[in-house]
C-alpha cells in the first residue's frame, strides 16, 4: 500500500488573532473551516488551506492561549514546508521583509528554502516547486500566481530514526530517494505533500506545547482503504485507535517508534458537506452532536477576525 502523502498537519499555537493574521493575512492561506477541537470543545480548531481545502494543503491549529511553550525535539515534526510557484521566491522574500518576518536562506537536496518562524515558534519553510496544481485564492496582496500551493513536505525528528525510516518506506509506501548530510528523503506519488525528510540523529526528547506540531496526517482515499491501513499498521506492531469521525474526514492515530503521532485521514467527505465552498470559514461550524450546546460553546470561545493588515 502507498499513501498519497500528507493530508494535513495540526499544530498548537497561542493567541488566536496572531495566528489568523499570520496564516491568512501574511501567508495568504484561506480559512476553510472554523470549528472546535472535538476532544476539547472549549478550544477552536481552525483549518487553513487552498480555496477548496484540498488534502495536501490543510494546516490546522489548536489555539491554546495560556498553554506553556513547547520544546522542539524527538517525536516531533521539526519543520513544515510550503510549496510556492516557480519564480515567486523574490515576491515572498519582499513580503516577509515587509511584515518584519526574519528569514534565512537554506538548501537541502538541491532545493532552496526560505526558513522562518511563525509568531508562536513553529518552524516554517517556503520552497519553489513545479506543479500542475495552481492556487485560485487571492487575499491581502497575495495574488493567485504567487500564492502558496500547499505542502511541499515536512522534516521529522525521531527518537529512533532507523525505525521511522523503515515505517515510512515499508509501511506507508514512501520511496527512499537519497541522503543529504544528516537527512534522508522519502517521497510519495502525490504532487503536494509528497516529501518527508528524516533527520538521522537521535534527537533529545521534545515536549508538546505552544509552537509545536501536534500530529501529522497521511492520506487514505476513502473509509475502506483506511480500514486496510488500520490492519496494516497493527500488523506492523502499531497501537492504532478506533476510527474517529472528525466530521470532514475520518481519522485513526498511532504513535510510531520514534515518538511521532501519526494519523491516517480519509480524503472525503471534505469541507463543503456542511457549508458552501463560497462561504467556508465564515461561520462556526459544529458537528451534529455538539449543536445542542452551541450557545454555551460560542460564549466560551474568543472572537477573532480575518482581516487585511
Count, residues in the chain: 309
Question: Residue 201 CA to chain centroid, in angstroms?
Answer: 23
Helix (H), strand (E) at residue 49: strand 40-49
* pLDDT tens-digit map of 252-267: 999 999 999 999 999 9
pLDDT over 90 at 135, yes or no: yes
- φ/ψ (deg, to 5) at 205: -60, 140
> How many Cα atoms occupy the beta-carbon half-sphere of 73 within 13 Å?
11
- The percentage of the chain sitting over the pLDDT mark of 90, rounded to a whole number, equals 97
78 closest CA partner among 266, 264, 259, 219:
259
202 exposed, middle or buried (CB, 10 Å; 0-12, 13-18, 19+)? middle
pLDDT at 206: 92
DSSP conformation class of 51: T
Q: Three-state SS for 289? A: helix
Alpha carbon distance 192, 6 (integer Å): 8
203 closest CA partner among 141, 139, 256, 157:
157
Alpha carbon distance 75, 216 (integer Å): 11
Contacts for 287 with CB less than 8 Å, ≥ 6 apart: 35, 38, 245, 247
* pLDDT tens-digit map of 19-75: 999 999 999 999 999 999 999 999 999 999 999 999 999 999 999 988 999 999 999
Please name the residue ranges forming H helices in 21-160. Answer: 89-98
* pLDDT tens-digit map of 180-231: 999 999 999 999 999 999 999 988 899 999 999 999 999 999 999 999 999 9
Please name the residue ranges forming H helices in 81-205. Answer: 89-98, 161-166
pLDDT at 293: 95
pLDDT at 7: 98
Amino acid at each position: 500500500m502507498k499513501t498519497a502523502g500528507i493530508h494535513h498537519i495540526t499544530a498548537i499555537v497561542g493567541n488566536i488573532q496572531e495566528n489568523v493574521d499570520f496564516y491568512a493575512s501574511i501567508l495568504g492561506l484561506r480559512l476553510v473551516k472554523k470549528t472546535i477541537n472535538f476532544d476539547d470543545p472549549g478550544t477552536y480548531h481552525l483549518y487553513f488551506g487552498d480555496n477548496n481545502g484540498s488534502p495536501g494543503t490543510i494546516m490546522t491549529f489548536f489555539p491554546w492561549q495560556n498553554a506553556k511553550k513547547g520544546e522542539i525535539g524527538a517525536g516531533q515534526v521539526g519543520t513544515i514546508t510550503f510549496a510556492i510557484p516557480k519564480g515567486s521566491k523574490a515576491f515572498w522574500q519582499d513580503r516577509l521583509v515587509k511584515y518584519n518576518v526574519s528569514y534565512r536562506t537554506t538548501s537541502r537536496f538541491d532545493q532552496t528554502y526560505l526558513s522562518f518562524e511563525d509568531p508562536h515558534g513553529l518552524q516554517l519553510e517556503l520552497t519553489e516547486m513545479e506543479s500542475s496544481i495552481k492556487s485560485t485564492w487571492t487575499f491581502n496582496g497575495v495574488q493567485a500566481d504567487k500564492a502558496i500551493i500547499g505542502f511541499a513536505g515536512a522534516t521529522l525528528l525521531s527518537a529512533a530514526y532507523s525505525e521511522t525510516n523503515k515505517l515510512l518506506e515499508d509501511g506507508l509506501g514512501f520511496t527512499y530517494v537519497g541522503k543529504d548530510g544528516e537527512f534522508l528523503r522519502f517521497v510519495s506519488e502525490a504532487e503536494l505533500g509528497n516529501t518527508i525528510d528524516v533527520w538521522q540523529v537521535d534527537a533529545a526528547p521534545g515536549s508538546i506545547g505552544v509552537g509545536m506540531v501536534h500530529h501529522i496526517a497521511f492520506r487514505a482515499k476513502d473509509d475502506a482503504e483506511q480500514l486496510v491501513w488500520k490492519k496494516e499498521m497493527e500488523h506492523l506492531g502499531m497501537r492504532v485507535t478506533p476510527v474517529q469521525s472528525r466530521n470532514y474526514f475520518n481519522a485513526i492515530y498511532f504513535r510510531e517508534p520514534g515518538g511521532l503521532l501519526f494519523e491516517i485521514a480519509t480524503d472525503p467527505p471534505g469541507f463543503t458537506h456542511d457549508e458552501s465552498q463560497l462561504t467556508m470559514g465564515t461561520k462556526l461550524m459544529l458537528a451534529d452532536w455538539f449543536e445542542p450546546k452551541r450557545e454555551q460553546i460560542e460564549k466560551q470561545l474568543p472572537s477573532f477576525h480575518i482581516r487585511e493588515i
